[in-house]
Chains A and B, each alone.
Chain A
Amino acid sequence: MIRRNLLATAAAALTLGAAPAMAQDPTEACFVYVGPIGDGGWTFQHHEGALAVKEAYGDKVNIRWQESVPEGADAERVITQMAISGCDIIFTTSFGYMDATNAVAAKFPNVKFEHATGYKREHPNVSTYNARFYEGRAVVGHIAGKMTQTNKIGYIASFPIPEVIMGINSYFHHAKLANPDVELVVTWAYTWFDPAKEADAARAMLDQGVDVITAHTDSTAPLAEIGKEGGSAWGFGQASDMAAFMTNDDGTPGPRVASIIDEWSPYYVKRVGQLMDGTYEQVDSWAGMPEGEVVIGEMTDAIPADVRAEAQAMIDAITSGEYHPFTGPMNKQDGSAWLAEGEVSDDGTLLGMNFYIEGITGDIPN
């Protein structure tokens, strides 16, 4: 399907190449995905965003995508192919595409490139965008701290990059505020998508008495594994709502008690719109709850009502800008001061975050 699209467009580009672009030409918005759309998580949400673009602009825009593109040399080839075949704007939706995106952007100055979760903008046609997922981690961290019976909460981490470390710190900080006795177990899976391994990681933590787990990987496997505990352990939807795990078949509350949803649609619709009406500019976008890019999915009845109310209050405070999840006092892991009382972290520190906060045991692998 994809290949046929690409070929057809390549042929069209050849025949139309010489003629000046007509106003009626649809804008080609292209997406590079790291996993399959059917992962039910990260890539699924990006694709929802792509569909929202089509929905918003109809015939004025064509969307194209390529799934399961490995990070590395293959990515550069896929992005180049898209640029050659007439894409006007290319969204590369994984951190590992950073260098490939910038390398291809150098060769195609007339094509706009948008790289998700990265920080390199080496050329004027490269923008970066990200969402403040740590805002969501703060809310689920609070819920985790309140709900754990064993006082051990878990985090299935993918790779030791600032994005993940930020999530770990935010999750633990808010769990600790809710429950001073809480202890955090971090397991590094070294993969974004491998359902069997993600399930193994969840199982290892469950076997050791962890009873609330959040995942920073892409599939729903950890929730399925948590579900095997039959109501004594809980988890959260990650990237997508994962609503299938909200209720068990017998009507009892399922393992998913809330979720952090990545809502890329507002950004994608805005950027493609700007490209079409000529107001497009290079940006470094980092939006969160206020802009509707980070959303907490429905909190189920498994969460006590007062905890739900507290979580909702936190969501409201973050959305209105009253509360920033990284507000002092906070110390680094070694006990040195980081943020003073009431001080808020600047974005630069967060985006380069390479340290744990006080109370987390273990080292960040590097």
Chain B
Amino acid sequence: MDLSNINPILLVASIMISATPILLAAIGEMVVEKSGVLNLGVEGMMITGAVIGFVVAINTGSPVFGFAIAAVAGAVISLSFGVLTQIFLSNQVATGLGLTLVGLGLSSLIGKPYEGMKTETLPKLDIPILGDLPVVGQMLFSHDIMVYLSLLLVLAVWAFLKYTRFGLILRAVGESHDSAHALGYKVIRVRMAAIMFGGACAGLGGAYLSLVRVPQWTEGMTAGAGWIALAIVVFASWRAGRVLVGAYLFGGITVLQLNLQAAGMTWGVQYLSMSPYVITILVLVLISSNRKKGSHNAPANLGQTFHATR
């Protein structure tokens, strides 16, 4: 094996790109789950965002506009989940799975005429001073805007949940919807807003796949990324910082193991191939179990339906 073939600058750069779609979807889903709603439709919302973002970018020539509409599309399709589970009180697990199936089917229908087409991709930012730094500049400060937006989003979600009044209300709704209701908070409205935020984030994550990471539309192109995002939320025990660790760990090890292979590491390729899953789970379980109370931190009302008359 010749490790000197691996260029750390390029490696870190491609890790950041590889982790971004999962990070976007996971941070959105975390907010949804914090409000007490379990939406298993992340995969469906992601692929909807992927196809809509691509179609819009092709037709308008503007990938930025594509991202914006992809977020709207993700929010709109998640609204169907919201209406069914929050107003008609359907089972969240079944409805979420249904949302995934709908998203996959709908996206292949919409995307059919766009297969094999090429789109403009997001330009790399030209950040003054920082971008010119040796090594670090190319490694960290020469990406497209979405990479930084996703990181800012993590920071914003963390601050929102920890320091703002609305963040407290959202958490209260997730921990005990009856108490929150008794205090006069609009449980369903809060949850609807959270669901739509989750949908928008998943839509952005999907659009990042089809507009930047792969830049093309292929049916079923999310290939399970939404499920990885869901798992990361759980293993990160619903904390924004750990979601970031989880997503970067998963994306990072996926890219790293391919680089190790390309550099000639041949021992246990099959173990390398499963390592992103194993290591991400191990690390997140370890840091989550290290807390004093040892609690799992799941919102107490996660996945339960709420009706004001009960």
Q: Is B214 interfacial (CB-CB < 8 Å)?
A: yes
Which of B215, B220, B259, B261 sits near A36, CB closer than 8 Å? Answer: B220
Interface residue tally for chain B (C-beta within 8 Å): 42
Docked-complex contact A362 and B218, CB < 8 angstroms: no
Instruction: Flag A56-71 by CB within 8 Å of B: 1 or 0 each.
Output: 0000000000001000
Chain A contacts with B in 147-203, Cβ cutoff 8 A:
154, 185-191, 193-197, 199-201, 203
B255 CB → nearest A CB, Å: 6
5 pairs across A/B with beta carbons < 8 Å? A38-B112, A204-B255, A207-B262, A208-B263, A219-B221
Q: What residues on B are CB-neighbors of A269 within 8 Å?
A: none
Docked-complex contact A208 and B218, CB < 8 angstroms: no
Known: A197-B254, A207-B11. 11 other contacts (CB 8 A): A38-B112, A39-B219, A185-B262, A185-B264, A195-B214, A195-B218, A196-B223, A200-B14, A201-B258, A201-B262, A244-B116
Q: In the complex, what distance in Å separates the CA atom of A195 from the CA atom of B223?
A: 8
Q: Is B309 interfacial (CB-CB < 8 Å)?
A: no
Which of A195, A200, A219 sits near B255, CB closer than 8 Å? Answer: A200
B26 CB → nearest A CB, Å: 15
Docked-complex contact A190 and B270, CB < 8 angstroms: yes
Which of A39, A189, A207 sits near B14, CB closer than 8 Å? Answer: A207
Which of B5, B216, B270 sits near A365, CB closer than 8 Å? Answer: B270
Instruction: Flag B137-177 by CB within 8 Å of A: 1 or 0 each.
Output: 00000000000000000000000000000000000000000
Q: Is B266 interfacial (CB-CB < 8 Å)?
A: yes
Chain B contacts with A in 81-124, Cβ cutoff 8 A:
108, 111-112, 115-118
Given A204-B259, A207-B259: A38 and B216 within 8 A (CB)? no
Docked-complex contact B115 and A40, CB < 8 angstroms: yes
Which of B117, B219, B254, B270 sits near A200, CB closer than 8 Å? Answer: B254
A230 CB → nearest B CB, Å: 12
Q: Is B213 interfacial (CB-CB < 8 Å)?
A: yes
Interface residues of A (CB under 8 A from B): 35-40, 68, 154, 185-191, 193-197, 199-201, 203-205, 207-210, 219-221, 224-225, 242-244, 249, 361-363, 365
Chain B contacts with A in 231-260, Cβ cutoff 8 A:
254-255, 258-259
Q: In the complex, what distance in Å separates the CA atom of A35 from the CA atom of B216?
A: 17
Given A187-B261, A196-B209, A201-B258: A40 and B270 within 8 A (CB)? no
Q: Is B273 interfacial (CB-CB < 8 Å)?
A: yes
Which of B7, B112, B214, B268 sits near A208, CB closer than 8 Å? Answer: B7
Docked-complex contact A205 and B216, CB < 8 angstroms: no
Docked-complex contact B116 and A193, CB < 8 angstroms: no
Q: In the complex, what distance in Å separates the CA atom of A249 from the CA atom of B218?
A: 19
Q: Is B66 interfacial (CB-CB < 8 Å)?
A: no
A155 CB → nearest B CB, Å: 10
Docked-complex contact B254 and A187, CB < 8 angstroms: no
Nearest A residue to B2, CB-CB: A208
Q: In the complex, what distance in Å separates the CA atom of A193 from the CA atom of B225?
A: 13
Q: What residues on A are CB-neighbors of B223 within 8 Å?
A: 191, 193-197
B209 CB → nearest A CB, Å: 6
Q: What residues on A are CB-neighbors of B263 within 8 Å?
A: 208
A19 CB → nearest B CB, Å: 37
Docked-complex contact B219 and A36, CB < 8 angstroms: yes
Given A196-B21, A204-B14: A154 and B262 within 8 A (CB)? yes
Docked-complex contact A199 and B116, CB < 8 angstroms: no
Q: In the complex, what distance in Å separates the CA atom of A194 from the CA atom of B269?
A: 18
> Of residues B218, B266, B268, which shows the largest number of chain A Cβ atoms within 10 Å of its Cβ?
B218
Given A204-B14, A204-B261, A244-B116: A196 and B221 within 8 A (CB)? yes
In the complex, the 5 A-B pairs of residues with the closest C-beta atoms, listed nearest first: A38-B219, A362-B266, A36-B219, A244-B116, A204-B258
Q: In the complex, what distance in Å separates the CA atom of A220 from the CA atom of B258?
A: 18
Q: What residues on A are CB-neighbors of B136 within 8 Å?
A: none
B239 CB → nearest A CB, Å: 26
Q: In the complex, what distance in Å separates the CA atom of A200 from the CA atom of B216?
A: 14
Nearest B residue to A36, CB-CB: B219
Nearest B residue to A199, CB-CB: B214
Q: What residues on A are CB-neighbors of B222 within 8 Å?
A: 196
Docked-complex contact A196 and B255, CB < 8 angstroms: no
Q: In the complex, what distance in Å separates the CA atom of A43 from the CA atom of B270?
A: 25
Q: Is B18 interfacial (CB-CB < 8 Å)?
A: yes
Q: What residues on A are CB-neighbors of B269 within 8 Å?
A: 188, 365
A243 CB → nearest B CB, Å: 8
Q: What residues on A are CB-neighbors of B218 within 8 Å?
A: 38-40, 195, 219-221
Docked-complex contact B220 and A225, CB < 8 angstroms: no
Which of B115, B118, B259, B273 sits near A188, CB closer than 8 Å? Answer: B273
Instruction: Flag B196-232 by CB within 8 Å of A: 1 or 0 each.
Output: 0000000000000100011110111111110000000
